[in-house]
């Protein structure tokens, strides 16, 4: 990494301030980091440290492995020395402090960029990744539904026939079942939107059905209502046939998924786990953390 990306103070970089403890684990002094991150007052910097400790715990890691209370001898103006409060910090602790620091400080912004590259972590659990994938697919299918409705209107489908037009696509893809019949089969209440209860695989199949139908209507210049309805059902059946050829599960056999609103709520309230590798998870204890298990 170019040196200009590494936070520095008085010619010393973050890596220059690194020390090694009795466990042969790397650590940083909070007092040294305070200056590096642009804090003039210990009290304000300690607030960021406390927030980082909370983040460490919420992320599923042990604060004791990354934040250790310590004292540091400092020289006073009179030439005497006294002990002040300090912390020994792991690399991960430094990362969390930067993430919880004052974003208005250019030093904090610089440190955040540095740790975005340096921190060894996995911020998204498999569940959160799956949730975000499904939510994104749901948003895409919603937009595609609107686009297909516009294309159907241009192809001559009247407003009062939109329900029949869209149902034709479902019938082709779901082996003859219309939207309400699919809900009944899957135990979905009639008042709910069918696509809100589709998992990612089912959403992707329906999105493909809609995009291909829209392209077909435009490509073939269809301007007849009944022809547009037939085209939609034909495309749905082609997608179904492709699923069967590759050994996929017919969509009518895919169980109803959790309502998309619950997924969205979970994403908004979730705290990403930070899954560290063994070296980082040990923090200030280094290899001794594994021996103590």
- Are 101 and 37 in contact by the 8 Å Cβ rule? The answer is yes
Is 81 in the same domain as 132? Answer: no
Tell me the pLDDT tens digit for each residue of 70-125: 766 556 556 556 667 899 999 889 989 998 988 888 888 888 877 765 544 444 55
The total number of structural domains that make up the chain: 2
Is 64 in the same domain as 11? Answer: yes
Is 265 in the same domain as 281? Answer: no
Band (pLDDT 50/70/90 cuts) for residue 69 is confident
User: Helices then strands (H, E): number in the chain?
Assistant: 12, 6
Is 241 in the same domain as 147? Answer: yes
Tell me the pLDDT tens digit for each residue of 135-192: 999 999 999 999 999 999 999 999 999 999 999 999 999 999 999 999 999 999 999 9
Is 246 in the same domain as 280? Answer: no
Lowest mean pLDDT among 6-10, 14-18, 27-31: 6-10
Task: Tell me which residue of 279, 270, 272, 283 sits closest to 94, measured CA to CA.
Answer: 283
Pairwise CA distance, residues 203 & 185, whole Å = 17
What is the pLDDT at residue 61? 86
Is 232 in the same domain as 156? Answer: yes
Is 83 in the same domain as 146? Answer: no
Is 201 in the same domain as 287? Answer: no
- Are 262 and 192 in contact by the 8 Å Cβ rule? The answer is no
Is 79 in the same domain as 167? Answer: no
Give me the DSSP letters along 151-215.
Answer: HHHHTT--GGGHHHHHHHHHHHHTTT--HHHHHHHHT--TTS-GGGG--HHHHHHHHHHHHHHHH
Pairwise CA distance, residues 180 & 171, whole Å = 11
Is 209 in the same domain as 104? Answer: no
Task: Give the structural domain span for 106.
Answer: 3-123+274-291
Q: Is pTM, for the whole model, over 0.85?
A: no
């Amino acid at each position: 990494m170019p040196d200009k990306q590494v936070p520095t103070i008085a010619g010393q970089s973050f890596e220059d301030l690194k020390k090694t403890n009795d466990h042969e684990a790397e650590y940083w002094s909070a007092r040294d980091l305070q200056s590096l991150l642009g804090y003039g007052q210990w009290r304000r910097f300690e607030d960021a440290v406390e927030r980082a400790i909370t983040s460490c715990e919420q992320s599923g890691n042990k604060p004791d492995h990354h934040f250790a209370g310590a004292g540091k001898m400092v020289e006073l103006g009179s030439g005497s020395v006294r002990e002040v409060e300090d912390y020994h910090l792991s690399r991960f602790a430094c990362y969390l402090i930067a993430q919880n620091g004052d974003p208005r400080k250019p030093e904090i912004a610089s440190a955040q960029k540095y740790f975005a590259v340096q921190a060894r972590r996995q911020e998204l659990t498999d569940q959160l990744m799956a949730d975000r994938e499904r939510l994104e697919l749901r948003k895409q299918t919603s937009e595609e539904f609107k686009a297909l409705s516009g294309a159907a209107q241009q192809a001559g489908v009247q407003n009062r026939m939109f329900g029949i037009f869209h149902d034709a696509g479902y019938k082709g893809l779901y082996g003859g079942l219309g939207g309400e019949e699919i809900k009944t089969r899957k135990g979905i209440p009639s008042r709910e939107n069918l696509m809100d209860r589709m998992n990612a695989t089912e959403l992707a199949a329906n999105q493909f059905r809609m995009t291909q139908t829209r392209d077909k209507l435009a490509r073939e210049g269809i301007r007849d209502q009944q022809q547009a309805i037939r085209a939609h059902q034909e495309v749905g059946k082609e997608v179904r046939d492709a699923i069967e050829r590759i050994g996929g599960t017919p969509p009518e056999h895919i169980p109803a998924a959790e309502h998309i609103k619950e997924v969205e709520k979970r994403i908004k309230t979730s705290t990403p786990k930070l899954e560290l590798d063994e070296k980082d998870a040990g923090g200030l204890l280094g290899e001794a953390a594994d021996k103590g298990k």
